[in-house]
Structure 1
Amino acid sequence: MLTPMSAPVKAVLVTMFEPGDDQAGELTPYREAFGLEPIKLPGSGLDFVYANADRTLIALVAGVGTANTAVSLMALGLCGQLDLSNAHWLISGIAGINPHSGALGGVYWADWVVDGDLAHEVDLRSAPEDWPIGIFPLGAREPYGPSTLENGLFGRPYQRFQINPELLRWAMQKTAKIALLDPPELSTPRSEFANYIGAAKAPHVAVGGSLSAARFWHGPHHNEWAEQWVYYWTDGAARFVTSAMEDTGSLHAISQLERMARARLDRVLVLRAGSNFTCPPEGKSAVENLIGENEPNYPGMVAALENVVRVGGAVLREWLR
């Protein structure tokens, strides 16, 4: 077990999903690529923190869901044993993919991250007949209607985050042409979604909006909601591509650390790779497609874990230089 050093950290890698028991998760390929070893941060309450040999790269498994990641990142930033004040942050993981816009195994830099949990919700069976969904903004009176809480406690500062456009452009310039893994097992799910423009493509690197919600939702009606929700909260600036469960929690924590001069939000990038689609192909129900016969259905998992470290690793190496 390694001990941390007081020298300034150059980069922080945030992962969320690491199942253990010899099953690879989001951190595993980075551990292998950067020689990451566990470190102790006494008093932080954090168990899954890692570092490279010279401690310029810190990595952690922050946990699944917005609340877990927010708590973990605040604990990391406030522990007092690491200088993160000028570090770059890479939030990297797998994601659901909107088949209209993205591909299994594809890797997507987020331009906007939108929260999908802060909302009113009524059972659609109890809603007016002309409502497409029972989810609507806090302070609004209907789905996608104007909100009276635009700048208040539940307003846009907490509902959406724009990634630094200049840093995002730099990341795309560094990674757009990286060759990605496209294993034969992706051909079957790709053929099932042949009528979707995004899903029919091979893995590639691109930019797209990310929806962050602790609920693991699935299905065509929720997919349509996600498209409209991201459009609504970004004033049409972003299109929904990836669905994740943590990123607004992570960004909210980093923004709070910035107010304490312990982090910089303008040095954060969010990277997600497609492990599954957010709705089923024609002929399958949402439940059947989400759960599968024996276990959750993640046909792009292997490619996603490999491709996200190919792309994310290239950016981390630049930062460490």
Structure 2
Amino acid sequence: MVTRTVGALTALALAACTAISPLANAQDDGFAQGNGESHGRPVKVMIISMFGPEGQVWLDKLGPWQDIPVAGLSPDYPNIHCNKQDICVMTTGMGHSNAAASTMALAFSSRFDLRHTYFMVAGIAGIDPIQGTVGSAAWARYLVDFGIQWEIDGREIPAGWNTGYLGINTKSPTEKPPLDYRTEVFQLNTRLADTAFALSRNVVLSDNAQAQAARAKYTYAPANRPPTVIQCDTLAGDTWWSGTKLGERARDWTKILTDGKGVYCTTQQEDNSTYEALKRAASVHRVDLNRVAVLRAGSDFDRPYDGQTSADNLLNYAAQGGFTIALENLYRAGNPLVQDIVTHWGEWRNGVPQR
């Protein structure tokens, strides 16, 4: 299940653009261009959010900010917001098309020098109750695309199959596909993922009574326990889904594409497309792929508790109370990495430090 809260979305979606003081002059190179180098304004950390509330949690806490407009960004989020610590926040728009287009626009913009930038994707997601709970914040090592599969109608699954999904150009659901798209799976820098986890694993995460009540309906851990910072992998796909059988396929598909090394725990829409855009920029030395981290916080469960229908789990996802705490926990789990980078830039500038 990929999730966003729709009720407050309209009012909040443009907050990241309207609540920030714009540059009086778009050519104000004193701030926008940093040290005046022809490569553009240097950035230490670029936080990538996907919709307004995800970006706003950072904008509310790390300002003041100035807007830097970039051609090609989403018309809903046309500016990159940067502060004097060289931390910037961008919002791509939801879904893989928006994420890819916006990230490409950023990566190839002459307004920024991103060669030494650390990118942190930070967004909410559905979560597997066997790995985490609503409010849990998960650092990923693998990005897996759930959408690049063949699908047979679930009412016509062949005998002996446990799913209607199979890899493209395979003969059964258990075969690994040839990865012809080249975007099916990506492995992130393990050292960066481990460092991010180590910096944040002991932070106290936000919680609320509504989420606690939703958790109590699950009879097993960690679903019925308080949220924590965890390490497990994330699955991208633009189709929102809910269900035990689909959840089992998500686990299996992650294992297949990572040769048994990945552990599925969060589901979202954008991360493989965001990474692919950065990968293309890296091919011409505009960014460093070893500096990409992905943090997803569970805003709802991807499958029902015993006795609940998958339809009820999906249609009433907002009742789980995870939206506001997941947003807050993106900040609580992600900010230790952000602050360590900018505070100890001498250690980070040339790559992830060994500690």
Deviation at 1:198, TM superposition (A): 2.1
The answer to whether structure 1 residue 120 and structure 2 residue 144 are counterparts is no
What is the CA distance between 1:45 and its match in structure 2?
4.2
When the two chains are superposed, the root-mean-square deviation of aligned CA atoms in Å is 1.7
Distance 1:53 1:115 in 2: 33
Paired residues for 1:43-54 under 5 Å: 43-47=71-75, 48=77, 49-54=79-84
Question: Which blocks of at least 5 consecutive residues in structure 1 are unaligned?
Answer: 19-24
- Counterpart AA for 1:199: A
How much does 1:36 deviate?
5.3
Match of 2:336 in 1: 314
SS state at 1:314 partner: helix
1:220 matched to which residue of 2? 244
Aligned to 1:285: 309
Secondary structure of the 2:332 match is helix
Q: Does the Cα contact within 8 Å between 1:37 and 1:50 map onto a contact in 2?
A: no
Matched, 1:31 2:59: yes
Matches within 5 A, 1:137-148: 137-147=167-177
Q: Deviation of residue 305 (structure 1)?
A: 0.9
Give the AA of the match of 2:147: D
Structure-to-structure mapping, 1:145-156, within 5 angstroms: 145-147=175-177, 149-150=178-179, 153-154=180-181
- Tell me how far 1:296 sits from its aligned partner: 4.5
1:7 aligned to which of 32, 41, 46: 41
Gapped runs of 5+ residues in structure 2?
1-21, 27-31, 34-39, 344-355
In the alignment, structure 1 residue 73 sits paired with structure 2 residue 92: no
Is residue 301 from structure 1 mapped to residue 287 from structure 2 by the alignment? no
Deviations 1:106-151 (A, max 9, x none): 111001110111111121223312221111101201112243x24x
Is 1:41 paired with 2:59? Answer: no
Shift of the 124–42 alpha-carbon distance from structure 1 to 2, 3 Å rule, reads closer
Does residue 17 of the first structure (1) align with residue 51 of the second (2)? yes
TM-score by length of 2: 0.82
Does the alignment pair 1:199 with 2:223? yes
Choose which of 109, 132, 140 in structure 2 pairs with 1:102.
132
Deviates more, 1:127-136 or 1:33-42: 33-42
1:46–1:76 CA contact under 8 A, matched in 2: no
Q: Following TM superposition, by how much is the alpha carbon of 1:172 offset from its aligned partner in structure 2, in angstroms?
A: 1.5
Q: Quick one: distance in 1 between partners of 2:250 and 2:70? A: 40
| Corresponding residue SS for 1:192 | coil
Q: Give 1:297 shift.
A: 4.3
